[in-house]
Each structure stands twice: as structure tokens, then as C-alpha cells.
Amino acid sequence: MERAHETMHGGHHPAADQWARRIAVLISALAATLALTELGAKSSQNAYLTHHIAVSDQWAFYQAKNLRGVVRDSEATLLESLPNASDPAIQARVQAARDYSARMRDDPKGGEGMKQMAVKARTEEAERDEAFHRYHGYEYAAGALEISIVLASVAVVTRIMAFAVTAGGIGAVAAAAGLAVALHIL
């Protein structure tokens, strides 16, 4: 008789519908927060890669400048060892090579000396490392949000309130962590 009654009325209990709706709203909120967190993670990952490439470029240019400076220093040393090194033409070439080498090491006017490139590279390294740190912060928050979505889904199926409360708590902490990463607090 009960089974027939449930079949006639569709087996719906108003409390059951309310429960499922609330959990569905929780899951939707968690999923939306997860999507925003993943956007932040991708943005941080792209920033990391961009800065990593810039760091690599700066240090490659640094090494090229160093090599060019060493070659010119070697040229000057070789010219100075010639028997007619006191010749004004040779002295002019020695001076030009030394000036070129010095400009490779420090070029405050052009901003392209090794000294200036090292400063740029270290700045890019700091920005790269910050982006990497933010990326990992977002990834931890996303992982916690995924776990909270799973727990909320289990709460719908099992109707165990502890799963729903735990899902909400983990989701709230994860959302706060993602927001803290976005605001550069963490």
C-alpha cells in the first residue's frame, strides 16, 4: 500500500526536494568559485612562463655581452703584446677595444650593459617567482574546491548532513584562500 502511494505521488517529499535544492545551490556556488580559481591559476601560469622566457632572454644577452667583452679584451691584450705596440694606430685600436669591452660591462647611457641586464634579469626572476607562487596557491585552492564539490555530491546521494557541512566549510576556506592569492595576501 505504501509503495503504491509513493508511486502515485511520485515518491517526492518536500523536505527531500528542499535538501537537494540547497545542496545543488552549494555545488553550483562551489563550481563557479572553482572556475574563477582556475582562471586565476591559468593567468598566473601564463605570467610565470612570460617572465621565465624574459629571464632566459636577459641572461642569454648577458652572456653574449660578456663574450663580446672578453673577445675585445683579448684583442687589446694581443695588440699590446705586439713588438710595435707603441704605434699610435695600434694604441688607438687597443683603446677602442678596451672602451668597447667597458661598454659591454656597463652602459648606463644605453642601458644595455651587463650590469643593467643583470638588474633586469633579477627583476624578471622576482616577478617570475611571484607568479609561480600565486599559481601554486590557486592550484591548492582549486584542489580543495574540487574535494568540496565531491563531498557535496556525496551529501546529495547519502543525505548525510556532515558531508554537506564539511563541503561548505572546505569550500569557504578554499574560496578565501583563492581570494587571498588574488589580492596578493598569500
Domains of the chain: which residue ranges?
A: 19-182
Question: ∠ at Cα 162 (161, 164), nearest 5°?
Answer: 65
The closest of 27, 20, 57, 67 to 170, measured between CA atoms, is 27
The closest of 74, 48, 60 to 132, measured between CA atoms, is 48
User: In this structure, which amino acid lies at residue 83?
Assistant: P
> Torsions phi, psi of 150, nearest 5?
-60, -45
d(CA 157, CA 182): 34
Q: Can you read off the three cell numbers belonging to residue 23?
A: 545542496
| Measured torsion, CA atoms of residues 63, 68, 71, 77, in degrees rounded to the nearest 10 | -110
d(CA 161, CA 168): 11
Strand, helix or coil at 115?
helix
1 pLDDT band, cuts 50/70/90, is low
- Residue 90 confidence (pLDDT): 92
Q: What is the mean pLDDT of residues 163-185?
A: 95
d(CA 161, CA 19): 9
Radius of gyration of the chain measured on its C-alpha atoms: 33
The pTM of the full predicted model, rounded to 2 decimals, is 0.76
Q: Kindly tell me if the per-residue pLDDT of 121 is higher than 60.
A: yes
d(CA 31, CA 178): 13
Q: What is the pLDDT of residues 44-100, one digit of tens each?
A: 999 999 999 999 999 999 999 999 999 999 999 999 999 988 999 999 999 999 999
d(CA 140, CA 101): 49
- Residue 17 confidence (pLDDT): 78
